[in-house]
Structure 1
Amino acid sequence: MQTICDYQHHVTMNHHMRIRYKITLAVGVAVTIVLVAMAFFYTHYQEQTVLRQNERTMEKLTESVAQGLQAVMLAGSADIAESYADRLKKVSDVLDFRILRTNGDEAFRDNKTILAVNKRRGEETFAPRETEMRVPVLPADDPNLLQTVETAKTLPIYERGDDGHRILTFLAPIRFIDSCSKCHGKGEKVRGVIKLTTSLASVERDIYEVRQYAIGALALALAATMMLTGYMLGRTVVEPLEKVTNAMARVSGGDLDHQVPIQTRDELGRMASSFNRMTSELKTTYDGLRREQDKLTTIIHGAGEGIIVTDNHLDIVLVNPAAERLLEKTAAQIVEEGFVHILDNPDEMRTWLAEDAAHAAITTEYKGRVLQVFASTILGSDNNVVGSAALLRDITEEKRLEEELRRLSTTDGLTGLYNRRHLDTTLATEYNRSSRTGTSLAVVMFDIDHFKKFNDTYGHDQGDRVLQAVARNFHDALRKYDLACRYGGEEFVGILPNTTLEGAYSVAERLRCDIEASEVDGLKVTISLGVAAFPELSVDSPEGLIEAADAALYRSKEGGRNRTSRAEPLADSTDAEPPPDTAALPPQTA
């Protein structure tokens, strides 16, 4: 039991730790998402800020170049413009610097503009170049070039260089001013385009440093937030929850007296208060159930009837001591063998359960006992199987007493033969059957000759022994399905189903001879008999058959006793002459 409790406590503590970590993790994830989002937007904002600052710097540079170029041209020093452009190419971080015409060709490489200006001015203001070449830099239909010329606004273009770093190209327009009309005329808004390409490697390094700083700050902020959040959650949420959880574990272990301290009035405090109320109500209910269980256990274990109960899978869950005693099996053996094998006849038990024997007891013999069995399948409110139950009662003694009562009510106490009551019932049954089927039914009636002398001379005890000896001979002379009865006093009647008058006469004669040949305490005993049979003798009732046999017995007595007489039709009052083999013999007396 202690090991189980320790295991439950270990599982409970692991569950507590998981709750703590889960809450901390959930808060940490939420905080991390917020901080990462803030860091992302911050770094993105810083990156855009750096790029915009770089664009402004490049824009100012191109404007300065354009103004310087215009100043050179207005001063009439166009011949040094080419040298001016070449020097700008050598500026640090400048990958390419070109002064383009509006058609995308590089300016100051041929004599096209010089010849046009000299022609307009009517004089050779500028000396032509000795060598000239056409250097196309951008196609004339380049969309960026066209946009710059059309809008007369600086256009930044970001691209990825061969070394993996981004590069920034500025297309800055060289706007037409009135001072240029002297040499170039009017009508053009843009005279040319400055193409300036720089590497953003240094800018990217700055952005990378900003990102690193943001990640470091994010990690520190996240760690600090997690630690502070974990501490605060542990103090304000997790620890109260753990107290409630520990209390639940103790209650589940049986400690219903344990209470959770209420330290706050918030939801956790109300939860602790509700838990304490629930525990108190549970304890009250548990105590009541425990008392009822003790009562039920006392009843079940003290019951003289065997009780066996199963669950809905027919697995035995209850065996009381009486069941072990009646079945002569241990509870473990009964559980192992199963419910349908409790009486070692599973097919019969399944039949009883299928027929729902709850409303009718089944009587069966088992190991020398007579058991009354109530077996049934118990159904729930929705007709689902809840379980099965069997009630076993030992009615061996009851059956014995019942049989003894039945025997006493139907037999004669002195001779052990059936009594007059059983004789009347059986004779009526056999008479009705014989009337219905047409079979023969015979009756043998006799009494002991001079029986009064036995009682008067030797006493009633001797007379009782004579009656018992005659009864034994009478019982042994009949078949097993014949009925030997004491009619009253020293008179006896035998019922012989399926027997004719002649057959009954033979039985009577054999009985007479057997008794005549025997002795009772050295005394000779004889009997006189009368036989009657139906339907050979026309009688309309069982009593008529008895009367006919009694009349035949009376004739035997009148004929000298120790003889057998056949019954005659009632209309014929003449006594029949005895047959030669039944000649009267003088009675033997002591």
Structure 2
Amino acid sequence: MHLEFPIFMALRSIGQKILLVVGLAASVGMTVSLWAYSLAQEKGMREQNERSMTQTVESVIKGLQSVMLAGDADIAQAFSDRLKTVEGAQDFRILRVDGTEAFRDNQTIRAVNQYKGEEAFPERDEEQIVPVLPKDSPDLLRAGTSEKPVPLYTAAGPDGKPSMTMLAPIMTTRGCKKCHGDETRLLGFIKFSVTLAALEHDIAEANQRAVALIVASLLLTLIFTAAILRRSVSQPIARVTEAMRRAAGGDLNSRAVAGGSDEVAQMASSFNTMTASLKHAYDGMQREQDKLTTIIRSAKEAIIVADATDRVTLVNPSAETLLGKSIQQIKHGSFIDILDDTDLMTRLLDDPDGSPEIIRRGELILSAQASRINADDGHLAGSAALIRDITIEKNLEEELRKLSTTDALTSLFNRRFLDDTLTKELARAQRYGHPLSILMLDVDHFKKFNDRHGHEMGDRVLKAVAGAMRETLRQQDFPCRYGGEEFLAILPETSGPGAFNAAERLRQAIAALNVEGLSVTTSIGCASFPDIMADSADNLIECADGALYTAKERGRNRCAVAAAAILDKSEVGA
């Protein structure tokens, strides 16, 4: 059957006929392509928007987990507040599983502290319960059940324009179980809402550009059919291939240039869409990495991260200061050797609770923690160590300890320390049958001396007596101020004769003092266990006090012992 069309038959030139056929075919094909391209472009842009939002909330979840695993709950609240200032976001919040906003009250802090059995995190001074979604919201149930981000589209958002919300569940990781337990599967949600006005505008512009491109391509096809046939295949393919090569080399800004709407042009367009998506995702990841890098590099704590082979991959500047090593030295060594103590690192890594240990490096006192990090599928992903400088804290603790046990005037141990130590030493002597002695001494005529020369001179005399006690007694002895002008020395592992000899040396040392031209003498009473079977520290002190008064009654500046066995020897004076 032979079909003849008047307009076709009117054309005499085969070129014109080909051009007409090509034009008709191109018109039909380009119209269909425009429709398909518009749909694909719209779908692709919406899917890209969902992927971008998914990547954003996943980055936020990872950042939040990093902050919480480091124990910085106060930073987590600031992190949550900052999400609300993200440009382009209608709503960006961290929710609990019941739909209320997280980090606004003390509900989770109390639950964690109760689970851990200690005040691991201080409670906030101000609390506020901010409901965002109903507890029984189907969206929360769907997101929690699916365990992956769920996109929600709204025809009219808060501003009356279409919007999209990405509701992403925050699932429990291995590190989270230290605070939330093994039974907790879902910790909360990230709610990220954006307006779709910009996306709809972009889709409309893309459609307009596509229409303009189709019309221009059709005109060019009708006028330059031969040229287009020659250049529409080989040259575009070459350009796309070159763009792919540059992208493979890391240049994500590379774009494939190809006009028209044929297969090659579609391939170029798809390639450009793909590279644009990758570039957007990469930029987002880079921004998150920059944030994390800023936090790590500015941290005063040393942070060291290694891969699964214990090769150190990240070291912040504080590690150089605290460990006394350069970053190059730390990276060139193994993670297990960063503290120069393999056994210590092994113990830290094997501790399931991640408890810190106190170590000394030179003049620094450090708190070191280390743990293995497992991926979601359970395989070892790497290791991390956190090292804090607690020198000031420990020095302050030591200073406070000294202040609580030291007499302010003489710098000897105070009465509180005396009572505790003598009780412990007597109990130890009774348990093991070891000897224990005490010396109780009093400055002779101190009241008259104090009244005549003044309290300041009296204080200097007491300091001089204290100095003589420190210089004369052994290092393992405990020189204490009993009260006023009375002193008491605890002599562990010392029998009666040894205590008397120590008392006599002390008495002579004090008698040899010259305090601004004044002489000082003391009377000393000795009491020893088991010569005296004292059943308490007070009993032993009473015996030494009785011997002291015996020495005073016998003329002062002498030693006396409470034990009858050496009573004659005790009557020695200078």
TM-score category by the smaller chain? 0.5 to 0.7
Report whether the alignment pairs 1:288 with 2:284. yes
**Structure 2 equivalent of residue 413 of structure 1:** 408
**Structure 2 equivalent of residue 25 of structure 1:** none
Report whether the alignment pairs 1:428 with 2:417. no
Q: In 2, Cα distance between the equivalents of 1:547 and 1:403? A: 32
**Structure 1 equivalent of residue 571 of structure 2:** 582
Shift of 1:485: 0.8
1:481 to 476, 481, 492: 476
**Structure 1 equivalent of residue 168 of structure 2:** none
**Structure 1 equivalent of residue 25 of structure 2:** none
| Closer, same or farther: CA 440–581 of 1 in aligned 2, 3 Å | closer
Report whether the alignment pairs 1:457 with 2:446. no
Shift of 1:416: 2.0
Report whether the alignment pairs 1:383 with 2:372. no
Residues 445, 549 of structure 1: 8 Å contact kept: yes
Amino acid at match of 1:335: K
Residues 239, 258 of structure 2: 8 Å contact kept: no
Residues 235-256 of structure 1, C-alpha deviations (whole Å, 9 max, x = no match) = 6666555544444444456654
Residues 357, 374 of structure 1: 8 Å contact kept: no
For residue 359 of structure 1, give the secondary structure of its aligned residue in structure 2. coil
Task: Compare 298-307 and 234-243 and name the one that shifted more.
Answer: 234-243
For residue 579 of structure 1, give the secondary structure of its aligned residue in structure 2. helix
Calculate the TM-score normalised by the size of structure 2. 0.54
Task: Compare 426-435 and 250-259 and name the one that shifted more.
Answer: 250-259
Task: Compare 265-274 and 489-498 and name the one that shifted more.
Answer: 265-274
For residue 476 of structure 1, give the secondary structure of its aligned residue in structure 2. helix
Report whether the alignment pairs 1:323 with 2:319. yes
| Closer, same or farther: CA 581–365 of 1 in aligned 2, 3 Å | closer
Report whether the alignment pairs 1:332 with 2:328. yes
Shift of 1:409: 1.9
Residues 443, 532 of structure 1: 8 Å contact kept: yes
For residue 343 of structure 1, give the secondary structure of its aligned residue in structure 2. coil
Q: In 2, Cα distance between the equivalents of 1:540 and 1:303? A: 56
For residue 412 of structure 2, give the secondary structure of its aligned residue in structure 1. coil
Residues 267-309 of structure 1, C-alpha deviations (whole Å, 9 max, x = no match) = 6555444444444443333332222211111111111222222
Q: CA RMSD in A?
A: 3.2
| Closer, same or farther: CA 547–247 of 1 in aligned 2, 3 Å | farther
Q: In 2, Cα distance between the equivalents of 1:560 and 1:534? A: 26
Q: In 2, Cα distance between the equivalents of 1:488 and 1:245? A: 95
Calculate the TM-score normalised by the size of structure 1. 0.53
Shift of 1:389: 2.2
Amino acid at match of 2:568: P
2:339 to 327, 337, 343: 343
Residues 530, 549 of structure 1: 8 Å contact kept: yes
Residues 358, 374 of structure 1: 8 Å contact kept: no
| Closer, same or farther: CA 342–443 of 1 in aligned 2, 3 Å | same
Q: In 2, Cα distance between the equivalents of 1:510 and 1:278? A: 93
1:530 to 500, 525, 533: 525
Amino acid at match of 1:531: C
Q: In 2, Cα distance between the equivalents of 1:235 and 1:349? A: 70
Gaps of 5+ in 1: 1-230, 570-575, 586-590
Residues 308, 389 of structure 1: 8 Å contact kept: yes
| Closer, same or farther: CA 315–391 of 1 in aligned 2, 3 Å | same
Residues 478-534 of structure 1, C-alpha deviations (whole Å, 9 max, x = no match) = 222121111122111111122223322222122112211332222111111212222
Q: In 1, Cα distance between the equivalents of 2:348 and 2:535? A: 51
Residues 483, 494 of structure 1: 8 Å contact kept: yes
Residues 448-506 of structure 1, C-alpha deviations (whole Å, 9 max, x = no match) = 11222333222222222211111121122222212111112211111112222332222
Q: In 2, Cα distance between the equivalents of 1:578 and 1:358? A: 61
Q: In 2, Cα distance between the equivalents of 1:358 and 1:323? A: 23
| Closer, same or farther: CA 341–234 of 1 in aligned 2, 3 Å | farther
**Structure 2 equivalent of residue 359 of structure 1:** 354
Residues 445, 550 of structure 1: 8 Å contact kept: yes
Residues 260, 272 of structure 1: 8 Å contact kept: yes
Residues 419, 485 of structure 1: 8 Å contact kept: yes
Shift of 1:430: 1.0
Q: In 1, Cα distance between the equivalents of 2:512 and 2:483? A: 24
Identity percentage of aligned residues: 51
| Closer, same or farther: CA 234–320 of 1 in aligned 2, 3 Å | farther
**Structure 1 equivalent of residue 298 of structure 2:** 302
Amino acid at match of 1:554: Y
Q: In 2, Cα distance between the equivalents of 1:426 and 1:419? A: 11
Amino acid at match of 2:558: R
Residues 193-214 of structure 1, C-alpha deviations (whole Å, 9 max, x = no match) = xxxxxxxxxxxxxxxxxxxxxx
Amino acid at match of 1:478: L
**Structure 1 equivalent of residue 399 of structure 2:** 404
1:553 to 548, 554, 558: 548
Report whether the alignment pairs 1:468 with 2:487. no
